[in-house]
Structures are given as structure tokens and as C-alpha cells.
Chains A and B, each alone.
Chain A
Amino acid sequence: MSGRAFLFGDNIDTDVMAPGYLMKLPPEQLARHCLEAVDPDFAATVRPGDFVVGGLSFGIGSSREQAAVSLKLLGVRAVIARSFARIFWRNAINLGLPCIALDDTGAVAAGDRLDLDLASGRLTNLSQKHVHVFTPLPGHLTAMIEDGGLMPHLKRRLGKTA
């Protein structure tokens, strides 16, 4: 299943993904404001399966998990960026939202159709007929994403599988 690329620049911070003054809102409502300061149409036009493509230090800033929660609720398949801020990266993976670091995100154009194969470490740009290869995540993180995130993973480990 492929999705479209939505392009963003360097240093996309947590506050533009989950604005502080709206943090009391329920997650679904907060998500409608995700990234609106840099792309007012993003939340209304992104569809489940689409990709967010950024530059350096994607997710820099606060520890607020709502930044990753908002992307997840909007159905974003994965975030592709040149580099990630550590807390955002952990938060996203904990929620089962893959974050893939690629050096050449600049080659992706807005609207390109992308297809992700997490296990083999391949991101295919169907529009440009190009395959980006990346190092798959360490085993324990892949296992966590496969379980649906940290909480389902922990639930299994604690022997309380639902």
C-alpha cells in the first residue's frame, strides 16, 4: 500500500505538531491543528497511509507525545527525515509510528508516491522509480513496532496479553 509524500523542512518542532495552547483538547481535536503553522492544509488533506518527509532534527523540542500521537491519528504511515530528535523518535516508535532516517530525503518531491518495507529496510519512490535503502531498526524495536507499540509489547512481556 503506497502513500503520498508531504514535504517539510529542517527543525520541524513538537510545538508546531502539537501547539501548547491547544494541549488540553482531546487528541482527535488537537490532531486537526497538527503542523498548521507551517502547512495550514496538512491536517485536512493528509490521508491514511501518507508519509511525512522532513529534513534535519525532525521533532526537536518538547517531550510532548501528542506530537507523534497527532501524526498517528491522522493516519501517517511513517516519518522519513534526515535526522530525528531523540525524544520524538522514541515516542513515535513507542506508538508504532516508524521513523526512518535517510540522508537523501531532498530527492523526494511533494506528492510522490512512496512504499515502505520496514523489515527489509527499503523505501520505494514509485513516482521516481527509485529505491532508498536504510538500515532496519534494531531487533527489539522492530519487535515492539510489530506488537503495536511499547504498551502492547509490555503487556505481552508482563504476561497479561489481552
Chain B
Amino acid sequence: MVRGATLVEKIIARAAGRDRVTPGEIVTVAVDFAFAHDSSGPRRWAPMLKDLGVGLWDSDRVAIVSDHYVPAVDADSAAILKLTRQFAAEHGVRNFFDMVGICHLVLPEHGLIRPGAVIAGGDSHTPMAGAFGAYAAGYGATDMAAIVATGRTWVSVPETIRVDWSGRFAQGVAAKDVMLFLCRVLGMDNAFKAVEYGGETVRAIGMAERMVLCNMAAELGCETGVVAPDTVTFDYLRRAGAPVEDEAGARAIASDPDAVYGAVHAFRAGDLEPQIAAPHSPADSAPVSEHIGARIDQAYIGACVGAKIEDLRMAARVLKGRRVSAGTRLLIAPASSRTTTEASGDGTLQTLMEAGATLLPSGCGACAGMGAGLLAEDETCISSTNRNFRGRMGAKSSRVYLGSPYSVAAAAVAGCIADPREMLAEDAA
């Protein structure tokens, strides 16, 4: 009997010109959309393309987003941004986004992430696009140079891990807590596997929270993370000005009921507590209660995963009517310019600023160890970002805890790790 296929297998089969593919086999796929940023893109591609004597395979299918060295802080970063602009102009890249936010959010904001597409990104958090039902994987600079030169790459078909969630999150719990929990339970050693999220909880949450689930597939070590497209997906793309024409066709890429998974896990959202990952691994996570009272020098809300408008609103719910603790600093780097505009329009920004936050430019910033907000030796930070590797956000001896925007805001107020549910409960009382 012929077995059913998973969403990821269906996309890869289509792009490989095959009826079906099997996990473990290596196939060549046609890439639908490729992108990179100022750090991984043009400055690395240009010499390789020149050496090959070719240009871009299709400049309309390549996007470039300057988000790492923005805004320039010295002559070197300014030179990288200048080179990136010149490359985009010379190669006729219409989808060039210069200092308007982080690639993984800016591209969906512009409707460029399409259900069913094969997406190759020059950044490890490319799987965030899987929230739209795309097969989106990250690649290094040489792989990306070959992809933008030829429009093709090879794929070792990943097996899919299915993770289902039922019920609703408690107040003060978010998709970020799901991922810190999963990093502990599933570990980070899942290379050449895909993770697919489903169940009523996932159907009920918005695109921003689905993006968190797929973004941190990277921390699980997975090739990609996916959520099957549905009404929530189509509504988002319609609002982005890029509606899906064939919704029935897009829905059909969902995994078949008899698809074969490498593993199937089921969890109850209502049982999940806020999670905190201790330095220096996202997998070293525990319920917030185990870290209450840990002193914090800096609270950071930033990055593709943790500074969307929905994340800023979570932080604002905790910070409303409260002040950042003396001796602690709260830095906020909205993930895109559009995020800042929305936050200023709905009062979120005012709440954050009145609480004593410092507003930083939109970009990858301190999360990538490049922008403003780096840590000194022996300093401790709690961050809404996705990784806390040793030295990633500054000095080698600095320490980074990871948490949801609720948990980061609560720590900023308390000056130490605190349970955001208690502050939200006080407000409700």
C-alpha cells in the first residue's frame, strides 16, 4: 500500500519533479525564493559569482535584507551596508530592504513568503517562514551563492517529527515557552529532520506565535519547522496585500492523514508554565520557578523571534503601570520598522517608554553580537531572543537567560527573574 506524505515531503517532491520522495534520499530541488542579509549575502556572494562568471539566476526570486550591521556603527559596517546596496542595484534586486527590520519578519510583512514554496535563506532562522506552510531551510554563504547562481540545490529529504498541542495556554504563557520546553524534551540534536506543529492550540494561535514555533526549529537542530496553511495564514497574506489565489490548493499540501512520521508527540498547553533557559543553552530550560531571584543586569527584547508587535504587547501588558528596576536596564529593539509604527499607533510604545525602556534600532542587534546592547564581562541578561550561547551577546563571561517577552518584562521590573503570571494576576485582581 502506498503511504501518505507529510507536508515537507509533498513540497520537496513537487520541487524535485517527483511524485513522491522518501526520508533519507538525496534529491535536487528547484528553489522558489532565496534571500540573505548583509552579513551572509552580497559580501560573500560577490566574489564567488564573479569567479563563476555568472549573475543571479532570477533577480525577482532573490531578496536581500540589510539587518545585521544596521545602522552602521563604524566604517567597516558602513562599508558592508554600502556594498550590499550596490550589489542589489547592480543585480536588479527589486526586493531589497535596507534597514527596515529583520529579514524573517520583513519578508512575510511584504507577502513574499508563500505556502508550498521551497525557500532558501542565508540565515539559520530561515525556518520561521515555515509558519506559512513553506519548506524553508537555512544555508551558509557558499551554498547560497550556488543557489542564487543556479536556482537549485540538493536536499537530503528529512523525516518529519509531529508535535501536537491541545488546549489553551495559561495567562502569561506563550509560544516561546513551548519552544524552550521542546528544546529540553526533544534536545537540539535533530539535524536532517523537520518538525511539524499541529493540534487545536496551533490552529488557534496567530501567525506571530506560529512564527516563533517555526523560528526555533533551528534550536531543535531541525532543518525546518512547518505549520499547515489555513484561514489564519490566508488572512495574514491578504492583509499583507498578497492574497493566496488558490486556497484549496494551498490547503492540499497539508500532511496526509496516513503520513508516516519519525516520531509523534502530544502535549497539553494548559499544563505549560513559563520556561526559562539558563546560560548557555536553549535546551537547559526549566519552569520559571527554578530561577526566581536570579539577578539581572539587562533585559533585552529583540530579534526575529522575540520583538514582533505581539511580543511588544506581551511586554507592555506586564510593564503597564510598572517601572524597570533601578540597576537593571530594559532594551527594546523592535523586529521591524512596521512593528515600531504599529506600537506607536496603539499605545504599546508609550507604555514601554513610560516604564523606562530604551528603544533601539530595528535589526538583529545584540542577539547576533553585532548591534547595540552588548554585555560586559560577568554581566547577566535575560532575553526574548532564541540563543544564549557563550559569548553570543558580548563578553565571553557574560551570561544570558532566555524567556518569553512576558518573562523578560517581569525580570526587568523585579531586577531579577520573576514569574510574570503573578504580575498579570495582580493586574487582574
- Do residues B139 and A87 form an inter-chain contact, with CB atoms below 8 A? yes
> Which of A55-108 touch B at CB < 8 Å?
56-57, 60-65, 68, 83-91, 94-95
Give B360-407 interface residues, CB cut-off 8 Å to A: 368-370, 374, 387, 389-392, 394, 396
Residues in A whose Cβ lies below 8 Å from that of B340? none
**Does A20 interact with chain B (Cβ within 8 Å)?**
yes
Task: Determine whether A129 belongs to the interface, using a CB cutoff of 8 Å to chain B.
Answer: no
The stretch that binds A, out of B59-67, B185-193, B249-257, is B185-193
In the complex, B326 has a CB within 8 A of chain A: no
Q: B45 → chain A, closest Cβ, in Å?
A: 11
Interface flag for A23 (CB, 8 Å): yes
What CA separation (Å) do A66 and B139 show in the bound complex? Answer: 13
Q: A83-B189, A160-B52 are in contact. Are A13 and B389 (CB under 8 A)?
A: yes
Please name all residues of chain B whose beta carbon is closer than 8 Å to the beta carbon of A91 when the two chains form the complex: 140-143
The stretch from B144-152, B160-168, B342-350 touching chain A is B144-152
Contact A63 B389 (CB under 8 A): no
B154 in the interface (beta carbon within 8 A)? yes
B44 adjacent to A65 (CB under 8 Å): yes
Whether the pair A20, B221 counts as a contact (CB closer than 8 A) is no
Cβ B192 vs Cβ A155 within 8 A = no
Closest chain-B Cβ to A124's Cβ sits at a distance in Å of 26
Is the CB–CB distance between A11 and B188 below 8 Å? yes
Neighbouring B residues of A95 by C-beta, 8 Å = 142
Contact with B along A25-69 (1 / 0, CB 8 A): 000000000001110000000000000000011001111110010
- Contact between chains at A16 and B143 (CB < 8 Å): no
Q: Which of A15, A23, A57, A90 contacts B188 (CB 8 A)?
A: A57
> Which residues of A have CB within 8 Å of B77?
24
The contact of A63 among B40, B149, B150, by CB within 8 Å, is B40
Q: Which residues of B contact A13 (CB under 8 A)?
A: 387, 389-390
B53 adjacent to chain A (CB < 8 Å):
yes
A65 lies within 8 A of B140 (CB):
yes
A142-161 CB contacts (< 8 Å) to partner B: 149-151, 154-155, 158, 160
- Report yes or no: A20 in contact with B369, Cβ–Cβ below 8 A: yes
Quote the shortest CB–CB distance from B426 to chain A (angstroms): 38
A90–B140 touching, CB < 8 Å: yes
Tell me if B26 is interfacial: C-beta within 8 Å of chain A.
yes
Within 8 A of A (CB), among B270-324: 281, 283
Contacting residues, chain A, for B392 (C-beta < 8 A)? 15, 20
Which of the residues A23, A83, A155 comes within 8 Å of B51, measured between beta carbons? A155
Identify which of A37, A87, A90, A94 gathers the most chain B CB atoms within 10 Å of its CB.
Answer: A87
**What separation, in Å, do the CA atoms of A24 and B39 have in the docked complex?**
9
Name the contact of B191 in the complex, choosing from A86, A155, A160 (C-beta under 8 A). A86
A20 and chain B: residue at smallest CB distance = B369
B133 within 8 A of A: no
Contact at A57–B191, with CB atoms within 8 Å? yes
- Residues of B with C-beta under 8 A to A90: 139-140, 143
Enumerate chain A residues within 8 angstroms of B138, measured Cβ to Cβ. Answer: 63, 87
Which residue on B lies nearest to A158, using beta carbons? B52
Distance from A127 Cβ to chain B, minimum over Cβ atoms (Å): 28
- Chain A proximity of B342: nearest CB distance (Å): 28
Give the 3 A-B CB pairs with smallest separation, nearest first: A20-B369, A91-B140, A65-B140
A-B contacts, 20 listed (Cβ < 8 Å): A13-B389, A15-B369, A20-B368, A20-B370, A23-B370, A24-B77, A56-B189, A60-B188, A62-B387, A63-B138, A64-B40, A65-B140, A65-B142, A85-B191, A86-B223, A90-B139, A90-B143, A150-B146, A154-B150, A158-B52
